[in-house]
Amino acid sequence: MLDSLVTSQTRIKLLKKFFLNSSTSAHLRGLESEFGESSNAIRVELNRFEDAGLLNSFPDGNKKMYQANKTHPLFGDNNSII
């Protein structure tokens, strides 16, 4: 069902990654290895989610980590859709 609503496979993978287990955090290169997709495609989607407030980011050494924003008004809806 999600495939028919969201056309970007990268976006779907990110939604599943961050909203199935909301305590998950990840960085760009780790996601690139996990998904087997280009870092640019993942970066574009991460930036979109962060700009929309669905993801928060924080530094961890030299890495930029991403995590679901549990305080976003749509967090519960996203979590239940996935």
Which residue stretches of the chain are H helix?
2-5, 9-19, 28-35, 39-51, 75-81
> How far is it, in rounded angstroms, from Cα 19 to Cα 82?
7
6 vs 29, 60, 71, CA distance in Å?
Answer: 23, 30, 23
Provide, rounded to the nearest whole percent, the portion of the chain with pLDDT above 90. 54
CA end-to-end span of the chain:
9
pTM given for the model: 0.82
Average pLDDT of 69-75? 75
pLDDT attached to residue 1 = 45
- For the chain, how many residues are written? 82
**Tokens matching residue 54:** 């669905």
Average pLDDT of 38-60? 94
In the chain, the domains with their CATH numbers are 2-81 (1.10.10.10)
